[in-house]
Structure 1
Amino acid sequence: MPFTKTFSLRRFYGTKVDLRKLRPMILDRIEKRAHAYPVRSMVPVAQQVLLARNALIHAVSTLLHSIPLFVCKFCPEICIGEQGHLIQTCPGYRRRAKNRVHQWVSGGLNDILVPVEAYHLHTMFQRVITHDQRFDFDRIPAVVELCYQAGADPHHQNLYSSSSNLEPSDDSVHGTQSLSPEDLASVANRTFNAWEALRSGVHKLLLVYPVKVCKYCSEVHVGPSGHKARLCGVFKYETWKGAHFWMKANVDDLIPPKIVWRRRPQDPPVLVNEMRGFYGRVPAVLDLCTKAGAIVPAKYNCMMKVQGLSSPVNIKILQEH
């Protein structure tokens, strides 16, 4: 009979750690880590991100003077075009009903470029913000805060306008600014290029700098650990006294794409609820640029469903043959 040797795995729970002795070592390590930031090679990337954000804000504002934008009165749904769609996805007033037709009103810049704010810190590794200190720190756009921590100066002459909040937020954008189709397409192409440059630059910065987002709400914090302000508004978790549950953030957390229904040439003039499974779903900026005449890369064709069917009638015809 072969000899078998049995190993017993034991866990030792008696080891005690004196946190008072470890605290100076932890603080010293954090202070030494802070000297490595900002990373010099990432400063030009942060500057390009601010420039792209500035160009995107101005370009989208220009397009919205020529292309109508509608937003639902009771939910975040938006629609770009001459009139709102008839797709029944509205939860209604205070979510008392489901699958209702949206009630459309005029929208603005903040409905497409959704503002995401974060606490402004002088250094990324300063002490954690407590709940009582939540009013002692300014709130600025999260992308601007990330660029600030990456070494860019948002108050520079060429970058200053990009550090402000998105404006206008609630004003009507149904202006009568006359732009030729060529000029409109040129602005649309610049808008799409700025959108791509902004997202690409933020993605590069997130590979180097830590950014946190709450698991249950849209709160963002730029730094190695989230703040302690109890502001989480998800009532399901109110037993935790509003504390955020932090996790690693991605590009969509800092730059929400705001997905919208997209009308294709083969679709009806007004999108109806019965055929919504055939429509494309794209970021609002992409839909705005295509309606203005921009040419987008082929990688978005699957999302836009360019060659897709337009109605269930086509399926019946294919089945008969």
Structure 2
Amino acid sequence: MRATITSSKRYLLKRLPHHLIPTLSFASETWPAPAASVDDGFPYSDVPKPKRRNSERKPYVTPMKALIERAKAEREARKAQPCRVLEEPPENGLLVPELVEVARRVYQARGSLLFGLSQLVRVIPVLRCRLCNEVHIGYIGHEIRTCTGPESFSRNAMHVWTRGGVQDVVFFPKCFHLYDRVGKPRVGHDERFSVPRIPAIVELCIQAGLDLEKYPTKRRTKPVYCIEGRIVDFESVVKEDETERQHFFENDKPFVNSSSMLTQPIEKVQILLENNISHLDQLSDEERNKLRDLSKHTLDSWIEMTSGAKKIMEKYTVNTCGYCPEVQVGPKGHKLRMCKASKHQSRNGLHAWQEATLDDLVIPNYVWHVEDLNGPALNNNLKRYYGKAPAVVELCVHSGTPVPDQYSSMMRLDVVSPDRDEVDLVA
């Protein structure tokens, strides 16, 4: 339905309420006005929106109102029952039985993922910007002007590309390893050099039931007590039987050898790598099939790792700083005065801890989706037609793996981007 506003009826606009005026429009527009999108300035609804300012805090996973109500309920429960036994794991120090096997599979999938990516990056080029954190999968870097590095204004925000590696495809932030996540959940500032730091996803698996001989952790058989908000453990400290621990670690050896799942496809593609083949056009059909098998196993490891970690995070708490990438697995964040982000002076260098998401635990490095690696570079004027995907998914897709269903809309596979000379002809 279209409505034309004539000069004889313009006086009606002045008599309408102010909030109704935007619903009317001139002859070239429709009435009523179409509903606005979720965010017109950021059209990729499937991709997490980047922070606009360094002073902007990460969004809360749980609304602040719900957090306040939860804190009030816990305070009332402590007043009603000052001394009580914590019944629900893992808050009581015990493991969640159904998540022990999930933690082992996540740890194995992480090792398989890194092992597969180390082979794929030797065939599919990975580029990174020298001056910022931008990553691109392809032979030629894109021309989208999104560089925020030093003196980017003098280059019109163009990126300066160089060869990247596995650490640019996926990044695992580190956190402090907790020997007793319930009895001593925080690491002090003076302990920052004595407590080891390991990848946060590995620490999450350890707290969920994975046993690694290099990183011991305390396992309880009885729940702990909560006395006026403080955790008290009355369980007697008994030295564990060395033979039992040795048997426990021997059962975990298949999970430490995380590359076993990829042994067969890696052996098939090893000849391809020894011949220094660095372009897909140089591969035969048989070699392409071998590379496809390798990428499929790698993508399966990525999906298994992320889905398993997300399931564990529903029970085990992971905290992140609201202003910087620091993460800490455990009931509380550490007390190190190392935050250099916005408003750190008012916090005396302490981190502003809040609930973390999966992207805080495993940083996926979203990249622009390229349909043809041999095609021209992505144009800045056509960036609204391009999709995005995690660098792991983009790398595996160009190696021959079909696009997973959960990433198809994010990659905008149903959008046909116009040519460079057709930009002015597209609405």
Secondary structure, aligned partner of 2:203: helix
> Could you say which residue in structure 1 is the equivalent of 2:227?
none
Deviation at 1:267, TM superposition (A): 10
Instruction: Tell me, yes or no, if structure 1 residue 45 matches structure 2 residue 102.
Output: yes
> Could you say which residue in structure 2 is the equivalent of 1:143?
201
> Could you say which residue in structure 1 is the equivalent of 2:27?
none
Deviation at 1:314, TM superposition (A): 5.8
Q: How far, CA to CA, are the matches of 1:305 and 1:217 in structure 2?
A: 30
TM-score, scaled relative to structure 2: 0.61
Q: Work out whether residues 323 and 342 of structure 2, in 8 Å CA contact, stay in contact via their aligned partners in 1.
A: no
Instruction: Tell me, yes or no, if structure 1 residue 158 matches structure 2 residue 258.
Output: no
Q: How far, CA to CA, are the matches of 1:281 and 1:234 in structure 2?
A: 27
- Structure 1 pair 27/115, CA: closer, same or farther in 2 (3 Å)? farther
Deviation at 1:96, TM superposition (A): 6.5
Q: Work out whether residues 66 and 174 of structure 1, in 8 Å CA contact, stay in contact via their aligned partners in 2.
A: no
> Could you say which residue in structure 2 is the equivalent of 1:216?
323
The residue type equivalent to 1:146 in the other structure is L
Aligned length: 288
* Structure 1 residue ranges without an equivalent (≥5): 1-21, 163-172
Q: Work out whether residues 65 and 174 of structure 1, in 8 Å CA contact, stay in contact via their aligned partners in 2.
A: no
The residue type equivalent to 1:208 in the other structure is K
TM-score, scaled relative to structure 1: 0.80
Instruction: Tell me, yes or no, if structure 1 residue 59 matches structure 2 residue 116.
Output: yes
Q: Work out whether residues 67 and 174 of structure 1, in 8 Å CA contact, stay in contact via their aligned partners in 2.
A: no
Secondary structure, aligned partner of 1:187: helix
Q: How far, CA to CA, are the matches of 1:235 and 1:225 in structure 2?
A: 21
> Could you say which residue in structure 2 is the equivalent of 1:302?
409
Q: Work out whether residues 123 and 149 of structure 1, in 8 Å CA contact, stay in contact via their aligned partners in 2.
A: no
Instruction: Quote the sequence identity (%).
Output: 35
Question: Deviations along 1:164-210, whole A, 9 cap, x unmatched?
Answer: xxxxxxxxx99925871001111111111111100000011001111
Question: Deviations along 1:258-311, whole A, 9 cap, x unmatched?
Answer: 100111249952112111111111110110011101012233221111121313
Secondary structure, aligned partner of 2:403: coil
- Structure 1 pair 43/260, CA: closer, same or farther in 2 (3 Å)? same
> Could you say which residue in structure 2 is the equivalent of 1:259?
366
Q: Work out whether residues 282 and 303 of structure 1, in 8 Å CA contact, stay in contact via their aligned partners in 2.
A: yes
Deviation at 1:33, TM superposition (A): 6.8
- Structure 1 pair 74/176, CA: closer, same or farther in 2 (3 Å)? same
Q: How far, CA to CA, are the matches of 1:34 and 1:248 in structure 2?
A: 16
Instruction: Tell me, yes or no, if structure 1 residue 270 matches structure 2 residue 377.
Output: yes
Instruction: Tell me, yes or no, if structure 1 residue 115 matches structure 2 residue 215.
Output: no
Question: Deviations along 1:35-82, whole A, 9 cap, x unmatched?
Answer: 542222211000010111111111111111111111100001011111
Q: How far, CA to CA, are the matches of 2:157 and 2:277 in structure 1?
A: 34
Residues 180-189 or 84-93, more deviating: 84-93
* Structure 2 residue ranges without an equivalent (≥5): 1-78, 214-251, 259-272
Deviation at 1:161, TM superposition (A): 5.4
Q: Work out whether residues 90 and 316 of structure 2, in 8 Å CA contact, stay in contact via their aligned partners in 1.
A: no
Q: How far, CA to CA, are the matches of 1:133 and 1:208 in structure 2?
A: 27
Residues 35-44 or 271-280, more deviating: 35-44
Q: How far, CA to CA, are the matches of 1:134 and 1:72 in structure 2?
A: 32
The residue type equivalent to 2:138 in the other structure is G
Instruction: Tell me, yes or no, if structure 1 residue 131 matches structure 2 residue 189.
Output: yes
- Structure 1 pair 161/102, CA: closer, same or farther in 2 (3 Å)? farther
Q: Work out whether residues 221 and 227 of structure 1, in 8 Å CA contact, stay in contact via their aligned partners in 2.
A: yes
Secondary structure, aligned partner of 2:401: coil
> Could you say which residue in structure 2 is the equivalent of 1:104?
161
Instruction: Tell me, yes or no, if structure 1 residue 233 matches structure 2 residue 337.
Output: no
Secondary structure, aligned partner of 1:212: strand
- Structure 1 pair 145/318, CA: closer, same or farther in 2 (3 Å)? closer
Question: Deviations along 1:114-173, whole A, 9 cap, x unmatched?
Answer: 1210100112113221111111210000010010011112343223356xxxxxxxxxx9
Q: How far, CA to CA, are the matches of 1:84 and 1:174 in structure 2?
A: 26
Q: Work out whether residues 211 and 248 of structure 1, in 8 Å CA contact, stay in contact via their aligned partners in 2.
A: yes
Instruction: Tell me, yes or no, if structure 1 residue 83 matches structure 2 residue 183.
Output: no
